[in-house]
Amino acid sequence: MQRFPFWLIAFPLSLFALASCDKEDAPVPPVTAQFQPGKGVFVTNEGTFGAGNAEIGYYDFDQMAYAGGLFQQINGRPLGDVAQSMTLIGDEGFIVVNNASTIEIVDLSDLSSSGQMGFPSPRYLLPIDDQKAYVTDLSASAIFVVDLEAREASSTIPTQGWTEEMVRIGDEVFVSQRFTEWVYVIDTQSDQITDSIQLKIDPSALAVDQEQKLWVFCGTDYNTFEPGSLYRIDPASRQILKEYPFDDLDIGVWPRLKTTPAGDSLYVNMGDLLKMPIDAAELPAPWVEAGGRMFYGMEVDPMTGWVYVGDAIDFQQRGQVYIYRPDGSLVQSFQAGVSPNGFWFY
């Protein structure tokens, strides 16, 4: 099958995606594409819950152009309902499609599907080594241990509810459990929870800085209406090094924590975007104000340090993506799919 470089397909794919919106019953002929490492970033567009309109897009660095709806156009079928996240492992991408109870496995060179794995309600996948990964889940009260070669769950780690983000520090994985006070610690050798860290209610977003310290975003306690906090934690002692309490209940629609490529500063999406050094005495003023926008997904380009931010607008129409330099100046904005929630640099 003939393959074409991205610049030949970007605009035709985008136009096809827009035209096909009004022809839901029309068959979608598969097309081909070619993606190269270091040339662009995949965008997960969550879609509208229950509508089955999740999609994968791609932003080409050289062309500064975006093409959307790629999974369906390349594979001839929809991706599914709610693209939650994506993990890149070698030459494969693992797209977590939450409400479809599926992780879709694709070849990153052309985004063609190479398999699926089923889970109750998966959220994030974290590779542990070449053979093993962990998958968090909204409804299973368990973290799944996945055999990457067999492409199936080999065992489970019992939990008490919705598990969310994961980060690895040494031989331990730290996992946030939503709507509780707990961050769990998993030993990657035994695949067992060996410890926990108690914080305020609803830990969600996690990050690791250049000093290998753990950051945890805890949201609002809507039972007591107590504002949340941002924490910096020593992962070895499990002790809180610094707490940054929030002034009010408004923390945006979905918290995100990301570090600069050097790991010396932290970006925080809590409605407005904050940027703070890891030794900050207090939370700073906004780095970029939302100004009525619904900031959602956020990621930092590991090469340039540019910050990609998705604006979900109303979670119904196609969203917008903004690219910012480290000084807060805008590089470019472009229209993406519905609810752009993640950026995955290939």
Other Cβ atoms less than 10 A from the Cβ of 192: the count is: 11
Give 106 or 21, the one with higher predicted confidence: 106
Q: Quote the tokens at residue 67.
A: 């093409």
Task: State phi, psi for 10 to the nearest 5 degrees.
Answer: -60, -55
pLDDT score recorded for residue 221 = 87
Output DSSP code: residue 178. T
pLDDT per residue over 108-123, tens digit each? Answer: 999 999 999 999 999 9
pLDDT score recorded for residue 33 = 82
Other Cβ atoms less than 10 A from the Cβ of 285: the count is: 8
pLDDT score recorded for residue 261 = 99
Q: How confident is the model at residue 17 (pLDDT cuts 50, 70, 90)?
A: very low
Share of the chain above pLDDT 70, in %: 91
User: What is the average per-residue pLDDT within 89-104?
Assistant: 98
Q: DSSP labels for 113-150?
A: EEEEEE-SSEEEEEE-SSSEEEEEESSSSEEEEEETTT
Give 267 or 254, the one with higher predicted confidence: 267
pLDDT per residue over 277-307, tens digit each? Answer: 999 999 999 999 999 999 999 999 999 999 9
pLDDT score recorded for residue 186 = 99
pLDDT score recorded for residue 31 = 65
Task: State phi, psi for 13 to the nearest 5 degrees.
Answer: -65, -45
Q: Among 218, 280, 287, which residue's Cα sits nearest to residue 251? A: 218
User: What is the average per-residue pLDDT within 12-20?
Assistant: 38
User: What is the average per-residue pLDDT within 256-270?
Assistant: 99
Rg of the chain taking only CA atoms, in angstroms: 20
pLDDT score recorded for residue 223 = 85
Give 328 or 19, the one with higher predicted confidence: 328
Pairs from 287-293 (Cβ < 8 Å, separation ≥ 24): 287/328, 288/324, 288/328, 290/252, 293/320
pLDDT per residue over 21-59, tens digit each? Answer: 443 444 445 667 899 999 999 999 999 999 999 999 999
pLDDT per residue over 126-164, tens digit each? Answer: 999 999 999 999 999 999 999 999 999 999 999 999 999
Q: Enter the pTM of the model.
A: 0.91
Is the pLDDT confidence value at 15 over 70?
no
User: What is the average per-residue pLDDT within 59-76?
Assistant: 98
User: What is the average per-residue pLDDT within 71-100?
Assistant: 98
Question: Cβ neighbours of residue 214 under 8 Å, at least 6 residues apart?
Answer: 167, 169, 174, 183, 206, 207, 208, 232, 233, 234, 235
Burial class (CB in 10 A: 0-12, 13-18, 19+), 99: buried
pLDDT score recorded for residue 106 = 99
pLDDT score recorded for residue 6 = 41
Average pLDDT, the chain: 92
